[in-house]
Amino acid sequence: MGPKNSKKKRRKKKEQKRQNKIQNQLKNEKSMLDKELRLLILGTGDSGKSTFVKQMQILFKNGFSKVEIQLYRDTIRRNLVSHTLKLIKAVEDFNLNLSRENTKLAQDFLLIEDEESKLELTEKKKNQIIQLWSDKAMKHVFERRSEFQIPDSAASFLDQVEEISSTDYVPTKDHILGCRIPTTGVKEVTFSTDDFTWRIIDVGGQRSERRKWIHHFENISILIYVVALSEYNLKLFEEQNINRMIESLKLFKQIVTNEYFVQKDCMLLFNKMDLFEEKLKTIDLEVCFSNYTGSNDVDEAVEFISEKFLDSVENKYRNIHIFRSTGTDTSRIQKIFEEIKSSVLEGLQNDLD
């Protein structure tokens, strides 16, 4: 065999090796795509969807980056100022009285409203917040928070204003889980476990954000719908005469009957169980459901609400998995995710069989 033929064979062998490498790469990429599981989280605003996503970062992404921690620190400080503003306004709306000294202080504090740059937590504002929060009227109005819009975590932040305002403050896990940043657009968290890539997709729950949801409905492995049980006596941010629980129930019916999801399993996550249990002691479920005749027992109330949501599902044989959660309880969220994962993987196995 001459040198020319030998050289030609080597080129052909080299080319074949390159082609095999490309084919293997394409095969691997396809395999990875096949193994990506997309979990879409839906629900009304302030239901706890974003808290669930934060928990996924804590559990599977080693927490938050330096940039994210900086963002949360700034947001928590702004939350403190905005919480104080809301409480001052509520004191006025409820015709309550601050002490004479704090009345003047509150009037000065209100001047910063709607000026985003002035929501920064300065030393002066820190001292003002401490003094205002010590006023009995401010504490009393917070106890009536079901009558206006303010997060339940506000008191925790206000109690720790000294720590939060310090120059070396680093947000704790609980502070990050409790801070409020309304989701606009899409938030995704991707991580790997059990040879699968999990993509958690969170889209804003406010009414103005819902028209964007349709763009994320395709190729979803499973739907997670989050309901804040503790909001059964609250009104929407957008429309003060609409009950939040009723809004969530109507939205759930629209989602589970959507053509993209009629064949999909759905995880119904009843969130904020801790707040719900506490609230039931003083506020009857009848304020939301006039036909509720049960007691203030938590299990009885949750069972009733579960039936309301399940009744909205047209296909009575459809798998709707119900979980109870407290969004800030990392261990509980981990258990729920493990159950969700088992359900998803079992479904994949059934499809193969």
From first to last of the 353 residues of the chain, give the pLDDT tens digit: 555 566 666 666 766 666 665 455 444 444 444 578 888 898 888 889 989 999 999 999 989 999 999 999 999 999 999 999 999 999 999 999 999 999 999 998 888 755 555 678 889 899 999 999 999 999 999 998 878 888 888 999 999 999 999 999 999 999 999 888 766 667 889 999 877 899 998 886 565 555 656 555 677 788 899 999 999 998 877 677 889 999 999 999 988 887 777 777 789 999 999 999 999 998 999 999 999 999 999 999 999 999 999 998 877 657 789 999 998 899 999 999 998 888 877 766 666 55
**Angle made by CA atoms 138, 143, 148, in degrees to the nearest 5:** 85
Q: How far is CA 349 from the centre of its chain?
A: 29
Q: Given the DSSP bridges, would you call strands 186-193 and 196-203 parallel, antiparallel or unpaired? A: antiparallel
Looking at the domain covering 41-64+184-341, what would its CATH class be?
A: alpha beta
- Give the other-Cβ count within 10 Å of 226's Cβ: 27
Rounded to two decimals, what is the model's pTM?
0.80
Tokens coding 82: 């905005």
Cβ-contact 51, 327 below 8 angstroms: yes
Nearest one of 80, 84, 115, 77 to 102, comparing CA atoms: 84
What are the boundaries of each domain within the chain?
41-64+184-341, 66-178
Query: Count H helices, E strands: the chain?
Result: 14, 6
The SS3 assignment for 153 reads coil
Say yes or no: domain 66-178 is CATH 3.90.45.10. Answer: no
